């Protein structure tokens, strides 16, 4: 149990911190609109949080590699406690002006990426210490992340009704505090700290050069960026439009997201249990084809609700294997001292394109209608997910590096 404690604590921190992040994403805009009644102010504050998240995704990598993932994870979560918790406290005491609220929302966004990236960098050490496989550890981590996100949204909505948006923000702050304690107290693994010469921008450039040089990592970032942009268009625009115009039910929208999330969590667990027996490239290629375009085609065909929900659940099952496969490949392939910089660059690309996907979906929806937009997105998704089948570089996913010695626990 002593060997497994760091992994168990890290998995708990993944789930709790992601639940808190989702609650923050919902509670802050709700709080702003409830207290100001201004859509413009709500948009400004939400944009500040998004900009902070995007900036820290790419800029925090060298700091994590230089200082150490454990310390940055704890500091980022404590900073999130302060940023999120100060919003309701300031409103109840000195008052909350728009500039102050915008700064605090931006700080909340700034804390998310370093905390998430640092936890991912800690994962291989915790997995090795627990003497389990990368597939099992990454599958468990993805399942906890999906579970946290799935539970965080309805929990935030319910708790807003029960204790109000200020109370939910304080609850959010408490989740980050728990995550900081779990990492700080329970996670002790060896870390490859950056020792190369040069300054911050030189270290950042080194990470970007690695991304450009490693054709498989570059292909993964490009493909996942496009997939997430298309998913953003589906989740933010096309699914709500389908539920409102075709079925006239907001309940269906929640059901679609819920069954897909449930299927994805189950898929992550299945991959964690059995994935070490499967080849990575065919697993990713098949699951990507099943998880993407079929969702758009299901909405276009307008089947009965039970059949539609079943189809989304199956797509979720396939989607559940995608992140664990990618995490396993990345942790196997990327040198330990570069992981934070490379993972941060990939996350920044994904985040930057998601608003573009939602915007394109909205423009096409108004211009050519729902059915044509669903078919267009399905076609682009199909072409995107055929890339792992068509290009040989993807077969490098099954290349296994020479195993390194398992990290030993660091004395407290």
39 phi, psi to nearest 5 deg: -70, -35
Per DSSP, the three-state class of 190 is coil
Using alpha carbons only, give the angle 48, 53, 58 rounded to the nearest 5 degrees. 130
pTM attached to this predicted model: 0.75
Least confident range of 8-22, 55-69, 75-89, 374-388: 55-69
CA dist 186 and 7 (Å) reads 9
Asked whether 80 and 173 are in contact (CB, 8 A), the reply is yes
Top-level class of domain 5-188: mainly alpha
Asked whether 316 and 408 are in contact (CB, 8 A), the reply is no
Give me the architecture of the 205-398 domain, per CATH.
Up-down Bundle (1.20)
**Which pLDDT tens digit goes with each residue over 179-195?**
999 998 888 876 666 56
Alpha-helical runs (H) found in 237-321: 239-242, 250-274, 280-291, 293-301, 305-319
Structure-block tokens of residue 85: 């918790």
The ranges assigned to domains in the chain are 5-188, 205-398
**Identical fold, 5-188 and 205-398:** yes
**Which pLDDT tens digit goes with each residue over 223-269?**
988 998 898 888 777 887 887 777 666 667 667 777 888 888 888 88
């Amino acid at each position: 149990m002593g060997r497994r404690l760091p992994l168990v604590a890290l998995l708990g921190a993944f789930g709790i911190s992601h639940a808190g992040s989702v609650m923050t994403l919902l509670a802050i805009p709700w709080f702003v609109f409830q207290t100001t009644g201004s859509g413009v102010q709500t948009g400004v504050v939400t944009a500040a949080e998004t900009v902070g998240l995007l900036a820290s995704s790419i800029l925090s990598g060298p700091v994590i590699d230089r200082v150490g993932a454990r310390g940055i994870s704890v500091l980022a979560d404590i900073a999130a406690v302060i940023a999120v918790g100060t919003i309701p406290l300031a409103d109840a005491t000195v008052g909350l002006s728009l500039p102050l609220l915008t700064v605090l929302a931006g700080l909340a966004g700034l804390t998310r990426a370093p905390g998430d990236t640092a936890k991912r960098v800690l994962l291989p050490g915790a997995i090795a210490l627990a003497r389990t496989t990368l597939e099992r550890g990454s599958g468990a981590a993805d399942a906890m992340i999906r579970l946290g996100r799935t539970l965080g949204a309805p929990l935030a909505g319910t708790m807003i009704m029960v204790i109000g948006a200020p109370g939910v923000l304080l609850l959010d702050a408490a989740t980050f505090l728990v995550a900081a304690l779990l990492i700080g107290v329970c996670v002790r693994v060896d870390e490859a700290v950056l020792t190369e010469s040069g300054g911050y921008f030189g270290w950042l450039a080194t990470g970007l050069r690695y991304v450009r040089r490693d054709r498989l990592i570059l292909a993964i970032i490009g493909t996942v960026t496009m997939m997430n942009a298309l998913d953003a268009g589906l989740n933010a625009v096309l699914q709500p439009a389908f539920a409102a115009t075709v079925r006239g039910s907001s309940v269906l929208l929640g059901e679609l997201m819920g069954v897909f999330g449930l299927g994805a969590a189950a898929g992550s667990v299945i991959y964690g249990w059995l994935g070490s027996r499967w080849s990575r490239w065919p697993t990713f290629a098949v699951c990507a084809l099943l998880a993407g375009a079929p969702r758009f085609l299901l909405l276009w065909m307008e089947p009965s609700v039970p059949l539609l929900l079943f189809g989304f659940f199956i797509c979720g099952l396939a989607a559940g294997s995608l992140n664990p496969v990618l995490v396993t490949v990345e942790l196997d392939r990327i040198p330990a001292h570069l992981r934070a910089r490379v993972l941060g660059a990939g996350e920044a690309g994904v985040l930057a394109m998601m608003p573009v996907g939602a915007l394109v979906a909205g423009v096409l929806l108004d211009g050519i209608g729902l059915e044509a937009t669903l078919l267009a997105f399905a076609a682009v998704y199909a072409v995107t997910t055929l890339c792992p089948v068509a290009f040989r570089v993807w077969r490098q996913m099954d290349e296994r590096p020479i195993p390194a010695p398992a990290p030993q626990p660091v004395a407290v």
